[in-house]
Structure 1
Amino acid sequence: MSGSFTVIVAGRDAPLWLAAAALARSLAPSGVKVEAVELPSALTPADVYATFPALEALHNQLRLDEAGLLRATVASLTLGQNFTDLAGAYPPFLHAYGSAGARIGDSDFFAHWVKARRYGLNVPLDDFSLTAAAARQGRLMFPDEENAIYGRCDYGYHLPAIAYARLLREAAIRYGATLHAADQLAVEHDGDTITAIELGEDRHFTADLFVDAGNVLGAATFHSWREYFPVDRVLTAAAPAFANIPVYAENRAGPTGWTALYPSRPATYVTHAWSSVLATDDEALAAASTASGLPLAGVVIRAVEPGCPAQPWTGNTVTLGASFDPVHGLDLLGFQVSLVQLLADFPAGTGFAAERAEYNRVTPEALDRLRDFQSAHYALARYAGPFWEAARATEVSADLAHAIALFRARAELAPFEEENLPPDSWRALLLGHGVEPESWPPATDRVPPEEVKAQFRRMLGFVREQVLRQPTQAEWLARA
């Protein structure tokens, strides 16, 4: 990039510092100057970032050592999320962060499993997954050369939010981002273009590009996702940590909402989500206490308004991420998807109409796919109670309806271009909510049944062997 180019990133907490660190790390060698405007934190000690495995790749780009990350944040690892019905009417299902089975010849394992189940196989899909099987045994699962040949096994983190934001702040400053702290900011416009921001005390800043890492600049018009989601209130709290930290989160469905437990070392972080139409704040607190079975401290209640920027790059301002429903904890993943796309489309100069058009083409589609994953949880859930009755009445996008229909018809997932969740996540969700494939791709029938049975036996033996080699969370953290 010729000449100087200044980017101002405005926001708060982990999103601000994740963006500032990534931009500074990637673009400073090209002469880009990154300035970070930090607004007061919105975090409390009861807040946690429950992350998906994709975040590790961004950490690697930022040269964040995992052992150092875990020490600085006192975080723990997670292999996925377990969804349970407090009424006990429906079996639990695990959304594990790993694949199930290995390819059989030239065809996908899942289609063979679907076919075998039609002919009497009584082995759950999770038994073929390294990650899911380890989670069920209370063990972690780490990728290595041997099991990488078999299939993907990943993990995320339960990151205490304040400590994580502090770590990212240090990284951003280390990579050269300049910090400007402010209690508030005012924006000066010329049409769609931000000409300057005012931070008070006669602090006046201009830039070639503004990056909104928290919907604080107001450049984008937000498109509401309210029709897809029943939740409009969320409670967060901290409870005592478990003596033996579980290796996955748990989401418990109750009649008026759901309660999630995110175990970590400092605390067990509890989230309760509900609709204010169906329960008061006091009733929600009582439901969260009952569902978690834990004493709650530091309770904070917030409103939730899901939506995304209609045009995330407007004028000279890029608004990152979206406001998701909290059920799968996708906020940070959606933010990462937007940030990585910005790095891919970052302009080579001050005339960036083409880059803006491409960003606005790709990013909303990617965010919509994440939205549909969360929406499917409500549209398909069979749980009883007024909350879930309202959930099943929410809208379903045309893409999601097509994806469900295709999966039910022939065990296949629709190949959407801007997909950021692996097929195994979708399979776990759809199967968990009772969407049973009625058939399978015809190519599956080319493999003789005896060969499939032999392959299945080898896979199950390999998974059992690998799981027994893995440590518990406590054992691993003690030496991490």
Structure 2
Amino acid sequence: MSRPFTVIVAGRDAPLWLAAAALARGLAPSGVQVEAVALPSALASVDAHATFPALEALHNQLRIDETMLLRATGGNLTLGRNFTDLAGAWPAFLHAYGSAGTQIGGRDFFAHWVKARAHGLGVPLDDFSLTAAAARQGRLMLPDAENAIYGRCDYGYHLPAIPYARLLRAAAIGHGATAHAAEQLTVERAGDAIVALDLGAGRRLAADLFVDAGGVLGGAHLSWRAHFPVDRVLTAAGPPFANIPVYAEDRAGPTGWTALHPGRPATFVMHAWSSAHATNEEALRAAGAAAGLPLAGVRIAAVEPGRPARPWTGNCVTLGAVFDPVHGLDLLGLQVGLVQLLADFPATAHFAAERDEYNRAAGAALDRLRDFQSAHYALARYAGPFWDAARAGTVSPDLAHAVALFRARAELAPFEEENLPPDSWRALFLGHGVEPESWPPAIDRVPPEEAKAQFRRMLGFVREQVLRQPTQEAYLAGLADG
């Protein structure tokens, strides 16, 4: 009898266990054996994951019940991120996790809104979004059959990192993954291939495929430093808000930015800056002032953004990337790699074709997420030395093309490996002042009075839906009582 195809996943904390759970769940029907090698945790009580909506779909695949998730972690929901200028020179904008409007005349709503605004419409785009409108009113927007007909309304999570990693570990083992703990590991190689992992104390694990879920197995790193000014990140925790906001907030200051992720056990605070513009002590003072909260458990770490030069090298797949901290893309990047790996998983022990396709698709997808983050810095109008340096960063040709096309005619450039919805790009571009100068001529076939009537119906529907949604406190109380 031939032995089963074996995959070893190495890493720590949520990335390790999320990858092990997804691979064990997805590959079990094929008889693939998944083993997880866990290095010591790097987490502290001040760490939390602020996630994108796509994670909910992965949780569903892993059979992680949302009520159980929120109870076990002390987590809560988030409808997006609000970006503000501490100097007050530029208006705030909300990156909401939902769509705006419905099609008119078979064409995307956004183009009609751009045209209407050029002709005097004074209603902001957010008023046509179920998610954004609810967030502005301090309410959640929970998807159901009625509002799903109107448009997409998603949410992410704010999850304390330690209990979340613990829950994912249980899920991975529940789906059949075998867990190994190691204080350290040594990688045994033969050329590009990994032969085995030495865990010490006489433990040596061999496999057909190795998956690196945290950059612990080595490999060439493609730096993104030219795109990003941040090289230091401070994490801390402040007291929780009496009424938990339904979105995160990013506050731009002259030497960096401060993010507040409201949670039940605490308000999780992150401050990002460049060591060229502020010392650690200055950054700590800036973080406290921007957050307006007493900070505890402060930790400071260096960050070097980038991705694997070749995500699949030899028989080792490195998932995700080291992202800039803005937008919180770490778990999304890992998820993108997992989905692609499951799609390209080798049918035999000879996987050169699958490896080439994975490197093409995963590399392009990670670069696209990088461009989304890069746009935040390249387009930001905030004042201060940090932002001056940010605007001088490298802009990829794809991003430059995307900005130019959006400005010219309110359209988003089509990229094959796109993992963010159009509404995220629109919120980012509009929020940073990229104003479309025209619109696709095809929408001119819709009579103005018809468009106006549709606008009125949409605004009425959004108002009606928002009024029937719960607050965060009411929703979480319902979970506790259930």
Calculate the TM-score normalised by the size of structure 1.
0.99
SS in structure 2 at match of 1:69 = helix
Q: Distance in 2 between matches of 1:64 and 1:179?
A: 19
2:407 aligns with: 408
Confirm whether residue 195 of structure 1 aligns to residue 195 of structure 2.
Answer: yes
1:259 aligns with: 258
Q: Distance in 1 between matches of 2:181 and 2:145?
A: 46
Residues 267-282 of structure 1: pairs in structure 2 closer than 5 A: 267-282=266-281
Residues 210-289 of structure 1: pairs in structure 2 closer than 5 A: 210-218=210-218, 220-289=219-288
Q: What is the CA-CA distance between 1:27 and the residue it aligns to?
A: 1.0
SS in structure 2 at match of 1:199 = strand
Residues 102-141 of structure 1: pairs in structure 2 closer than 5 A: 102-141=102-141
Deviations 1:141-176 (A, max 9, x none): 011111111100000000000010000000111111
2:48 aligns with: 48
Would you say the 8 A contact 1:50–1:262 is kept in 2?
yes
Q: Distance in 1 between matches of 2:341 and 2:2?
A: 19
Q: Distance in 2 between matches of 1:415 and 1:76?
A: 33
Q: Distance in 2 between matches of 1:452 and 1:416?
A: 29
Extract unaligned runs of 5+ from structure 1.
none
Q: Distance in 2 between matches of 1:394 and 1:178?
A: 44
1:449 aligns with: 448
Deviations 1:212-263 (A, max 9, x none): 0010011x31100000000000000011000100000000000000000000
Task: Report the residue type matching 1:70 in the other structure.
Answer: L
Residues 58-97 of structure 1: pairs in structure 2 closer than 5 A: 58-97=58-97
1:143 aligns with: 143
Deviations 1:298-327 (A, max 9, x none): 000000000001110000000000000001
Q: Distance in 1 between matches of 2:18 and 2:186?
A: 23
Q: Distance in 1 between matches of 2:217 and 2:279?
A: 32
Would you say the 8 A contact 1:3–1:31 is kept in 2?
no
Residues 308-457 of structure 1: pairs in structure 2 closer than 5 A: 308-457=307-456
Would you say the 8 A contact 1:2–1:349 is kept in 2?
no
SS in structure 1 at match of 2:436 = coil
Q: How many corresponding residue pairs?
A: 479
Q: Distance in 2 between matches of 1:164 and 1:302?
A: 21
SS in structure 1 at match of 2:200 = coil
2:174 aligns with: 174
Q: CA RMSD in A?
A: 0.9
SS in structure 2 at match of 1:328 = coil
1:462 aligns with: 461
The 1:438–1:2 alpha-carbon spacing in structure 2 relative to 1, beyond 3 Å, is farther
Deviations 1:187-228 (A, max 9, x none): 11100000111010011111000000010011x311000000
Would you say the 8 A contact 1:101–1:151 is kept in 2?
yes
Confirm whether residue 22 of structure 1 aligns to residue 22 of structure 2.
Answer: yes
The 1:215–1:115 alpha-carbon spacing in structure 2 relative to 1, beyond 3 Å, is same
Would you say the 8 A contact 1:100–1:128 is kept in 2?
yes
Q: Distance in 2 between matches of 1:15 and 1:75?
A: 18
Task: Report the residue type matching 1:279 in the other structure.
Answer: A
Task: Report the residue type matching 1:129 in the other structure.
Answer: S
Shifted more, 110-119 versus 22-31: the winner is 22-31
1:152 aligns with: 152
Task: Report the residue type matching 1:46 in the other structure.
Answer: V
Task: Report the residue type matching 2:390 in the other structure.
Answer: A
Would you say the 8 A contact 1:321–1:335 is kept in 2?
yes
Task: Report the residue type matching 1:406 in the other structure.
Answer: L
Would you say the 8 A contact 1:9–1:34 is kept in 2?
yes
SS in structure 2 at match of 1:308 = strand
Task: Report the residue type matching 2:91 in the other structure.
Answer: P
SS in structure 2 at match of 1:188 = strand
Would you say the 8 A contact 1:245–1:265 is kept in 2?
yes
Q: Distance in 2 between matches of 1:403 and 1:302?
A: 33
Q: Distance in 2 between matches of 1:242 and 1:384?
A: 29
Confirm whether residue 471 of structure 1 aligns to residue 470 of structure 2.
Answer: yes
SS in structure 2 at match of 1:327 = coil
Q: What is the CA-CA distance between 1:29 and the residue it aligns to?
A: 2.3
Task: Report the residue type matching 2:457 in the other structure.
Answer: R
Q: What is the CA-CA distance between 1:269 and the residue it aligns to?
A: 0.1
Q: Distance in 2 between matches of 1:155 and 1:261?
A: 17
Q: What is the CA-CA distance between 1:2 and the residue it aligns to?
A: 7.4
